[in-house]
Amino acid sequence: MTQLLHYPLLATINSPADLKTLDNEQLTVLAAELRGFLLETLDRTGGHLSSGLGTVELTIALHKVFNTPEDKIIWDVGHQAYPHKILTGRSRQLDSIRKKGGLSGFPKRSESPYDAFGVGHSSTSVSAALGMAIAAKDTGQTYKSVAVIGDGAMTAGMAFEALNHAGDLDADLLVILNDNDMSISPNVGGLSNYFAKVLSGKFYSTVKSNSKKVLGSMPSVWELARRAEEHMKGMIVPGTLFEELGFNYIGPIDGHDIPTLLTTLSNIRELSGPQFLHIVTQKGKGFKAAENEPTQYHAAAPGFYSNSKASTSVSDALTYTEVFSRWILDAAAKDERLIGITPAMREGSGLVEFSEQFSERYYDVGIAEQHSVTLAAGMACESLKPVVAIYSTFLQRAYDQLIHDVALQNLPVVFAIDRGGIVGADGATHTGSFDLSFMRCIPNMTIMAPADENESYHMLDFAYAMGTPAAVRYPRGKGVGQAITEHLPQPLELGKSIMVYDNQNDFSAAELKLVPVISILSFGTLLSEALSAAEALKNEFCLKIINMRFIKPLDNQVALQLAQNSDLLITLEDNTVMGGAGSAVNEVLAGQGTVCPILNLGLPDEFPEHGTQQEIHHDYGLDSAGLVKTIRAHIRPKSAAV
């Protein structure tokens, strides 16, 4: 654990109440210590860095001014909330962040009463804070609701839907726009800070309210005064849009200036109705490398600060994201109709090189998953060939568009679905547990899950050539080390599986009468675990392992044939068992009246905790050791029963 003794003032902060007695000078020292503590700790653990470094002063000011946890602060998105965790009694646990059994990388209601709302996906804060503001009003309570939304999250329609509703309700709500890319306005300085203090002050709000009453009987004079104010503010601040939505716009102000933040927030706390505070911060503040390359340090690996990289075994295998990146570059070079689309995940989805080499065919739509899918549908209507690169967990947000705008019209859109299955340290909010379940019930969809890198590359090619909606779903992280070749050893055929392991010939005819036959239908990259388990069990059972390749259409013939000739049929997938690929097999067998002992292995009916992929797979019995244990527990050699 980082020695808090190195940070004497921070060591005295066990809750936000400890901030109340500190003066501005002490708070400035605290900000420096908090930033140093964050850098030192994440240098060992890794984690989200740039955004948190940029919110240090804002976090201090919010907890100094507001009475948390009674007052509600909702962080959007959650990776800017590490300083919040530190100041709310979790500093001594920060070493455990994103590790199994440790702190979550995002605000989580079950972790702390100071985490007012659980987040992981973006653009939810205004809706949640508005709901809390309405609840306060309806129950006669006086707590304040504050939404801290990053400028990236403002690209999502949901944020504006909530802003529009809040302004219409005249709710007591503060929305803070953390403009950490200078994307809205660069005019931050003394004049803007001064103007913000005036606009947030009680004198200004009182004069404005009384003037409206006095001039209300003279509409033309009131309209003239209103327009004069709007034009004056428009010369200095970019808040006209938010004013039109019904908010009192204040800012922009320097989000690293603690005295200005304290004065402005204290003033706003006394105001009623919807308030909008625009602050400008710098991502990576206080760490030059992150200031210069904030995206690179969005999620930092251990050793980024001390330059002492953690000693881990390095595999030469490509990640599945890198496989996609290679494929789309190759495909784009062959077909000028190919368009690459992503909802704000250029780096994560492997589109950096594509965006540079084919910039005219690359579209980052921002955090607007619904729009990304319907945009692709519109392009497909006009003979373009769109490829939507999207995380599994984010595709959930575009489910209606997937059904109505793509599948219903049977349009040739390829979905390259990254982060399928257990995702690791980001935990439940980012785990791709449900995609096989929610996609396979959609007509016209073809769904594939590769077992290795080479298969992933060729499945993308297959999907692109189909001319109908198709999805290739692959996990986070490295593959098994399979090189990409010009052709697959066993070419893809729509809805056809391949046998990859069969040890039947290792037994004599007499032995086969005593050895149980176990067939494993594997969907996706857990095939490698099944093959490892087979090596441990090969002397006990007759094993047949099938790489199913397609979830939809399913290889019904193989499933039925194996069910009729197996003592135990196992389905294996990195997806929730409910409604997943195993359920598809069950439906086929039930539809044909085939009776066979069947075991569906996959993710259980719960949200997985954070931890490494290997740890979570082990906990759920989806690694080779777990498969061996499960098989031995479910079936015994026939000779033992005689």
DSSP letters along 518-570, please?
A: EEEEEESTTHHHHHHHHHHHTTTSEEEEEE--EEES--HHHHHHHHHT-SEEE
Tokens of 24: 């501005």
Mean pLDDT of 628-642: 75
Mean pLDDT of 262-287: 94
pLDDT over 70 (residue 331) = yes
Position 236 scores a pLDDT of: 47
* pLDDT band at residue 583 using 50, 70 and 90 as cut-offs: very high
DSSP letters along 435-473, please?
A: HHHHHHTSTT-EEE--SSHHHHHHHHHHHHHHSS-EEEE
Domain ranges of the chain: 4-201+238-300, 320-473, 498-641
* pLDDT band at residue 138 using 50, 70 and 90 as cut-offs: very high
Mean pLDDT of 395-409: 97
The closest of 460, 384, 372 to 416, measured between CA atoms, is: 460
Position 441 scores a pLDDT of: 97
Task: Dump pLDDT digits (tens) for 203-226.
Answer: 445 545 544 444 444 556 545 555
Contacts of 607 (CB under 8 A, 6+ apart): 428, 431, 433
Position 213 scores a pLDDT of: 47
Q: Name the least confident of 28-37, 235-244, 322-331, 594-603.
A: 235-244
Tokens of 552: 């939809």
The closest of 17, 30, 26 to 65, measured between CA atoms, is: 17
Query: Would you say 599 and 571 are in contact if contact means Cβ atoms under 8 Å apart?
Result: yes
- Distance, in Å, from the CA atom of 464 to the CA atom of 338, rounded to the nearest integer, reads 9
* Amino acid type, 347: E
Position 224 scores a pLDDT of: 53
Q: Name the least confident of 139-148, 235-244, 286-295.
A: 235-244
Q: Using a pLDDT cut of 70, give the percent of the chain over it.
A: 88
Segments of 371-516 assigned E as strands: 385-391, 414-418, 446-448, 470-473, 498-502
Position 187 scores a pLDDT of: 37
Position 235 scores a pLDDT of: 46
pLDDT over 90 (residue 189) = no
pLDDT over 70 (residue 328) = yes
Asked if the domains 320-473 and 498-641 are classified in one and the same CATH topology, the answer is yes
Edge-first strand listing for the sheet containing 550-552: 362-364, 338-342, 385-391, 414-418, 470-473, 446-448, 550-552
Position 641 scores a pLDDT of: 40
Q: Write phi, then psi, for 363 (nearest 5 degrees).
A: -135, 115
pLDDT over 80 (residue 265) = yes
- Per DSSP, the three-state class of 417 is strand
Task: Dump pLDDT digits (tens) for 557-570.
Answer: 999 999 999 999 99
Enumerate the active-site residues. Answer: 283, 369, 397
* pLDDT band at residue 184 using 50, 70 and 90 as cut-offs: very low
Helices and strands (H, E) in the chain, number of each type: 27, 19
What's the chain's average pLDDT? 89
* pLDDT band at residue 95 using 50, 70 and 90 as cut-offs: very high
Position 132 scores a pLDDT of: 97
Check residues 79 and 72 and name the one with the higher pLDDT: 72
Check residues 161 and 296 and name the one with the higher pLDDT: 161
Contacts of 116 (CB under 8 A, 6+ apart): 69, 72, 73, 74, 107, 109, 128, 132
Q: Tell me the CATH number of domain 498-641, given options 3.30.1360.170, 3.40.50.880, 1.10.10.10, 3.40.50.920.
A: 3.40.50.920
Mean pLDDT of 192-204: 51
Mean pLDDT of 461-474: 98
- Per DSSP, the three-state class of 153 is helix
- Distance, in Å, from the CA atom of 367 to the CA atom of 365, rounded to the nearest integer, reads 7
Task: Dump pLDDT digits (tens) for 155-174.
Answer: 888 999 999 999 889 789 99
* pLDDT band at residue 183 using 50, 70 and 90 as cut-offs: very low
Q: Name the least confident of 288-297, 310-319, 363-372, 408-417.
A: 310-319
Q: Can you name the CATH fold of 320-473?
A: Rossmann fold (3.40.50)
Q: Name the least confident of 307-311, 419-423, 525-529.
A: 307-311
Tokens of 309: 């990289």
CATH H-level superfamily of 4-201+238-300: Thiamin diphosphate (ThDP)-binding fold, Pyr/PP domains (3.40.50.970)
Task: Dump pLDDT digits (tens) for 415-432.
Answer: 999 999 999 999 898 999
Q: Write phi, then psi, for 179 (nearest 5 degrees).
A: -85, 85
Q: Using a pLDDT cut of 90, give the percent of the chain over it.
A: 75
